[in-house]
Copies of this chain bind each other. A is one copy, B any other.
Amino acid sequence: MKFTINRPAFISQLNNVLRAISSKTTIPILTGLKMVVDKERIILTGSNSDITIESVINANNPDYDLTVEDPGAIVLPARFFSEIVKKLPDKQVTIEVTSGFQADITSGTAKFQINGQDAENFPHLPEVETDKTITLPNDVLQEVIRQTVIAVSKQESRPILAGIHITLHDGLLTAVATDSHRLAQRKVALKDVDNGIDFDVIIPGKSMNELSGMISDVDEDVLVQVTENQILFIFGNTHFYSRLLEGNYPETSQLIPDTADTTVELDAGSFLASIERASLLSHESRNDVVKLTLKPSENLVRISSDSPDIGTVEEEVATTALDGNDLEISFNPNYMKDALRSFGQTTVKISFTSPLRPFTLVPTEDGENFVHLITPVRTF
């Protein structure tokens, strides 16, 4: 195996694949990066137990200035190999495997020789063979991930809640996540989807976070293919595989209340700033709770919190609408912060029923397609 390549362009592809590679793994060869070289291309592969990323460098792409002298394959220690390539002096780097599994890495007057492993020992890629392919606009996929992944459970007690439940039915994509304290649900009506294509999968939240970071770097739309235990996202020259979680996701549709006794509309950004201020104090008290007092009768909304050691905070909140019964309700400010951030700069409508029942946040425009639900905290 021997090839010479433009170093900065090679580094960008290495960085892609490195996202899948962990230095902590129970399968030692997965700390390695697999390189398969033939006359037409180099395929880089990195994997952990959840995701596998494959990057294809085509010889005919002039950006890479790629010259393959000898085909071949090897697995090299991923972290070292990439650190070395990043620090090399020259614009080009040559990688050569002469005998056994040792690779010579040369650039300018610097020469490294590092120990690799047989590429035959690298786990084989999951096979994704399906004719179920849909295309998702890049920005829509990013938004769906951003708005739901925050509600994914970080607890390991119910592994199924570590995933985002995504279904496609009659062209309507629905994504739901809940950690049992809060829930986020996003719906998108897809255009140009073959009505015969339906699926119902649970994708690990971590995989989706990683995917989101990668697709935000490219402009292209994302092809999605689903099989029984894998989902494959294709964009640019990258194949991103994630395993699916097995099991039944809890039924969530009845959790969202459809009536309200008190409603308020306010600017997400300035309400977020108020919550952040109040949480400076609540974080210092044992139960980390912020209280919201709604008095439609006096057209008043007030947020407050206290910490016996530090002091108290109280702030009047500006609203654009306020209706229904007077109400006092307490909640964890972190849940509210996460929710408000997922809305971005927009007006939200918050609907309450009682101090102990979950309340919902929806954008005041287009309230059908995105709903975030938070369970309050009992303080009495």
Binding site for B on A (CB under 8 A): 77, 80, 83-84, 87-89, 102, 109-115, 270, 273-274, 276-277, 280-281, 284, 309-318
A281 surroundings in chain B (CB, below 8 A): 112
Q: How far is the CA of A284 from the CA of B102 in the complex (A)?
A: 17
Residue of B nearest to A111 (CB): B314
Contact of A280 among B84, B102, B113, B270 (CB under 8 A): B84
Residue of B nearest to A110 (CB): B315
A114 surroundings in chain B (CB, below 8 A): 310-311
Residue of B nearest to A311 (CB): B114
**A316 x B77 contact (CB < 8 A):** no
A276 surroundings in chain B (CB, below 8 A): 87
Q: How far is the CA of A276 from the CA of B112 in the complex (A)?
A: 13
Residue of B nearest to A114 (CB): B311
A284 surroundings in chain B (CB, below 8 A): 80
Q: Chain B nearest CB: distance from A271 CB in Å?
A: 11
**A312 x B112 contact (CB < 8 A):** yes
Q: Knowing A88-B277, A276-B87, A280-B84, say if A102 contacts B311 (CB, 8 Å).
A: yes
**B313 x A111 contact (CB < 8 A):** yes
**A87 x B277 contact (CB < 8 A):** yes
Given contacts A102-B311, A115-B309, 11 further A-B contacts (CB under 8 A): A80-B280, A80-B310, A84-B280, A87-B276, A87-B277, A87-B280, A89-B273, A112-B277, A112-B311, A114-B310, A115-B311
Q: How far is the CA of A273 from the CA of B110 in the complex (A)?
A: 11
- Which 8 interchain pairs have the tightest Cβ spacing? A114-B311, A109-B316, A110-B315, A112-B313, A113-B311, A113-B312, A87-B277, A115-B311
A87 surroundings in chain B (CB, below 8 A): 273, 276-277, 280
Residue of B nearest to A112 (CB): B313
Q: Chain B nearest CB: distance from A320 CB in Å?
A: 16
Q: Chain B nearest CB: distance from A340 CB in Å?
A: 15
Q: How far is the CA of A54 from the CA of B157 in the complex (A)?
A: 51
Q: How far is the CA of A87 from the CA of B84 in the complex (A)?
A: 43
Q: How far is the CA of A84 from the CA of B310 in the complex (A)?
A: 12
Q: Chain B nearest CB: distance from A374 CB in Å?
A: 22
Q: How far is the CA of A312 from the CA of B84 in the complex (A)?
A: 12
**A315 x B111 contact (CB < 8 A):** yes
Q: How far is the CA of A83 from the CA of B111 in the complex (A)?
A: 51
Q: Knowing A309-B115, A310-B115, say if A277 contacts B315 (CB, 8 Å).
A: no
Q: Chain B nearest CB: distance from A90 CB in Å?
A: 11
Q: How far is the CA of A281 from the CA of B112 in the complex (A)?
A: 9
Q: How far is the CA of A274 from the CA of B84 in the complex (A)?
A: 11
Contact of A313 among B102, B110, B277, B310 (CB under 8 A): B110
Q: Chain B nearest CB: distance from A358 CB in Å?
A: 27
Central interface residue in A110, A273, A276, A317, by most chain B CB within 10 Å: A110
Q: How far is the CA of A273 from the CA of B107 in the complex (A)?
A: 13
Residue of B nearest to A89 (CB): B273
A274 surroundings in chain B (CB, below 8 A): 89, 110
Q: How far is the CA of A312 from the CA of B111 in the complex (A)?
A: 8
